[in-house]
Amino acid sequence: MNKQEGSSVVSLRNQNGLPLLEVTDLHKYFRVRSSGGLFGKKNNLKAVDGVSFSVSRGETLGIVGESGSGKSTIARLLLKIDNPTSGVIKFNGRKLSGLLPVELRKLRQHMQYVFQDPLGALDPRMKIIDQVTEPLIIHNIASKSECHDKAAELLRSIDLKDHTFYRYPHELSGGQRQRVVLARALIMEPQLLVCDEPTSALDVSIQAQVINLLARLRERMGLTMIFISHDLNIVRHICERVSVMYLGKVVEQAQIDLLFNSPAHPYTQALLSAIPIPEPGLNRQRIFLKSDPPSPIDLPSGCRFHTRCHRAKPGCAERIPELKSLKNGQLVACHLAHGEI
Amino acid sequence: MNEKLTESVIKSQRAPLLQISDLTIDFNTPTGWIRCLHGVGFEVYPGEILGLVGESGCGKSITSMAVMKLLDPRARIGGNVRYKNQDLLTLDENGLTKMRGRDIAMIFQDPVSSLNPVHTIGRQVVESIIYNSAIPFLNNKVMGKKKTEMVKKHQRVTVQAARIEAERLLNRVGIPETKQCLKQYPHELSGGMNQRVMIAMALAGRPQLLIADEPTTALDVTIQAQILELIRSLRNEMEMSIILITHDLSVVAETCDSMAVMYCGLIIEKGTVEGIFADPHHPYTRGLLASLPRIDRQIDMLLPVEGSVPAPHEMPRGCAFEPRCNVALNVCKIRQPAPTTESHGRSISCFNPQYGGFQV
């Protein structure tokens, strides 16, 4: 294991210039009946609407946003669990669309997914060790006994005791289960790990254990990670760059310190001010957003955020703001930040 | 410091609204009785927001369910729950019906499953208003057949009045178009709006104590901020006391006056929010605070509490936290520590409490 690990790190370094993942103008529309029940008119629900980003090797990109902003849809598109309506996803320079199923399966070895709910992600009738060896057997990588040794070594390295190997998922605690899900993703030694809310089902003390483990494994295996979360506290701790999403669009993207110290988009500002800080008596200035997010079927004109924005001006409802770079390299989609209104 | 001293002096002179002492709960399972609460005690003073924090399974919710007597009737409840010198645990069904909603109201974590999906919001809010104002009429045992018609007539008037009251309540909890909202069904509203409806229904009986069980866990942060602000402003306006049950220490820091930290069916530390966050004494409280990632500063390494919570049937003989504790003594393995009281209403259950030097 160690030897392979070493070689994979070397090969990663060699290709350092190229981004591992490149997403250009990604769209995903779902056809839904918005009103009138069974015979109502069908409308487009724009879950992801023109998202572009790239992730370089060894980097961790955070995607944050409220429920319904399209975070999880992006994750599913990246792994081709769903097909995009339009747009291009390139992994290692290869387009994901138009791949033959055989080719896709080969590529999937290098990209793995960690789900939010570990109990739902594991097979209730399979022993832990079998769940972790299954990917190796599916991809026909090693013989059965080798698989077993490899899985056992990995499980031990993430602090699971030998006696848990032959148990079933319901016999483990939430934190242990999430470790198993992690192990199952990592046994393939992937280059890209997509984590969709990996700790939101866990308690705080356990959450810290899993986050530390993720950070340690990322170092050791040279992982590139996409970390999807609604919890900005964790994102700040583990990510290097963040994309903030609102209703299917990226509204701001920046290096972690820039974003947290000088958020440029009004939505990011409101989001950061809404997060409680574990320190009493701070008396922070809080921005309260008006009302609820609008329906993704019936989107507001112009800037999607203008209906809730505390700084909105009349012009915001007319033109759609582009995601453009500020002087310091922060990407923002807001007319006000760019001084256009 | 002086301010706090006077505050605690005032507190000690006031009578608590709710006083829980030595509360135990046992559940009958196929393997025998299992104790889930091991003698919980705390007080809620008038106008105070108390945060009850702990990880899942520590007994926060069943404590509040015991107060409302909503637990399975086969559960064995011991100890004392006094609300304004009235023992809630010995109340009969009639007394409980009068108490619920009008003295103590409750809101739950998932508003969508707490509301009835086949009735309009209007009908549900009106129902809770009528229920809380006219219980004697609606009690089936009291009602004869002749009386029923009279009540119906009487009710027609009340429904009118209740509708107006419902609109006022929905308006108060910040629902923008109340008239339209009354005609809608729960699935047509967002999670935040549904939680507002739940709060409006809880306010219908003008309760003096509101128990909010994880009211914002299912909501987005921007909506959470709105709801917590609403809860705080209602406390100031109606002089309610609130028990806020949550697993989120940051929410406690920003919302509550005092807090109680629970672990494995015991309160291990309680006191004022300022006091505990400035200098947590119990190793578990320290561990929880150190394991929080923070948005306002960069931390190199989170310090998690290692291990996991023991199952209720595998509780250690001594202190429940001893297997995960990094400052455990020999005595911790043998005996359970009793709560010791310090100044400013602070109390800790630990043989080796830590003082000072806590820095996140």
| DSSP summary character for residue A47 | E
Nearest to A175 by CA among A129, A135, A212, A148: A212
Query: By CB neighbour count within 10 A (0-12 exposed, 13-18 middle, 19+ buried), where does A16 fall?
Result: exposed
Contacts of A208 in chain B (CB under 8 A): 291-293, 302-305
pLDDT at A206 over 90: no
B318 near B299, Cβ under 8 Å?
Answer: no
Structure confidence at residue A4 as a pLDDT band (50, 70, 90): very low
Instruction: Give the sheet arrangement for strand A111-114, strand by strand.
Output: A111-114, A192-196, A224-229, A60-64, A241-246, A249-255, A331-332, A324-325
pLDDT digits (tens, 9 = 90+) for B32-49: 899 999 999 999 999 999
Q: Which residue has the higher pLDDT, B357 or A319?
A: A319
Contact B293 A211 (CB under 8 A): yes
Alpha-carbon distance of A298 to A35, in angstroms, equals: 11
For A277, which of B55, B296, B305 is closest by C-beta distance? Answer: B296
Contact B294 A236 (CB under 8 A): yes
Alpha-carbon distance of B211 to B224, in angstroms, equals: 17
A57 near A12, Cβ under 8 Å?
Answer: yes
**Long-range CB contacts (< 8 A, 24+ apart) of A132-141?**
A132/A180, A132/A183, A132/A184, A132/A187, A133/A187, A134/A184, A135/A184, A135/A187, A135/A188, A136/A187, A136/A188, A139/A105, A139/A109, A139/A188, A141/A188
Two tokens, residue B339:
């709560």
pLDDT at residue A14 in the model: 40
Alpha-carbon distance of A43 to A33, in angstroms, equals: 6
Contacts of A67 in chain B (CB under 8 A): 220
CA angle (B289 as vertex; B283, B292 as ends), nearest 5: 140
pLDDT digits (tens, 9 = 90+) for B85-135: 899 999 888 888 888 888 999 998 888 889 999 999 999 999 888 877 754
Shortest Cα–Cα distance, A173 to chain B (Å): 8
Contact B292 A237 (CB under 8 A): no
pLDDT at A340 over 70: yes
pLDDT at B5 over 60: no
Burial A139-163 (b: 16+ CB within 10 A, else e): eebeeeeebbebbbebbeebebeee
Two tokens, residue B189:
């509203």
Structure confidence at residue B240 as a pLDDT band (50, 70, 90): very high
Q: Does B312 touch chain A (CB under 8 A)?
A: no
Tell which B residues from 48 to 67 touch A, by Cβ distance under 8 Å.
Answer: 55-56
Write the CB contacts of B169 (distance below 8 Å, at least 6 apart in sequence). Answer: B125, B129, B200, B201, B203, B204
- How many residues would you count in chain B? 360
Shortest Cα–Cα distance, A260 to chain B (Å): 8
For A289, which of B190, B222, B301 is closest by C-beta distance? Answer: B222
Taking residues B240-246, report their average pLDDT: 95
Two tokens, residue A308:
């809730």
Tell which B residues from 159 to 188 touch A, by Cβ distance under 8 Å.
Answer: 176
Tell which B residues from 260 to 299 touch A, by Cβ distance under 8 Å.
Answer: 273-274, 277, 287-289, 291-296, 298-299
Nearest to B53 by CA among B235, B227, B217: B217
pLDDT at B16 over 60: yes
Contacts of A291 in chain B (CB under 8 A): 176
Contact A233 B223 (CB under 8 A): no
Write the CB contacts of A69 (distance below 8 Å, at least 6 apart in sequence). Answer: A245, A246, A247, A248
Nearest to B191 by CA among B128, B110, B123: B110
Tell me what the pLDDT averaged over chain B comes to.
86
pLDDT at B74 over 90: no
pLDDT digits (tens, 9 = 90+) for B133-175: 754 444 444 444 555 555 555 555 577 888 888 999 999 999 9
A256 near A239, Cβ under 8 Å?
Answer: yes
For A288, which of B225, B248, B293 is closest by C-beta distance? Answer: B225
Alpha-carbon distance of A73 to A70, in angstroms, equals: 5
Torsion of CA A136, A81, A331, A229, to 10 degrees: -70
Contacts of A212 in chain B (CB under 8 A): 301-302, 304
Shortest Cα–Cα distance, A127 to chain B (Å): 21
For A278, which of B176, B294, B301 is closest by C-beta distance? Answer: B294
| Interface-testing mutation among B49, B216, B302, with chain A (most A C-beta atoms within 10 A) | B302
Contacts of B254 in chain A (CB under 8 A): 276-277, 280, 282
pLDDT at residue A75 in the model: 93
This model of the complex carries an ipTM of 0.82
Nearest to B263 by CA among B71, B52, B72: B52
The two beta strands, B76-83 and B86-87, are antiparallel
Shortest Cα–Cα distance, B330 to chain A (Å): 24
Contact A212 B308 (CB under 8 A): no
The two beta strands, B49-53 and B241-246, are parallel
Nearest to B174 by CA among B212, B211, B225, B209: B225
Alpha-carbon distance of B360 to B358, in angstroms, equals: 7
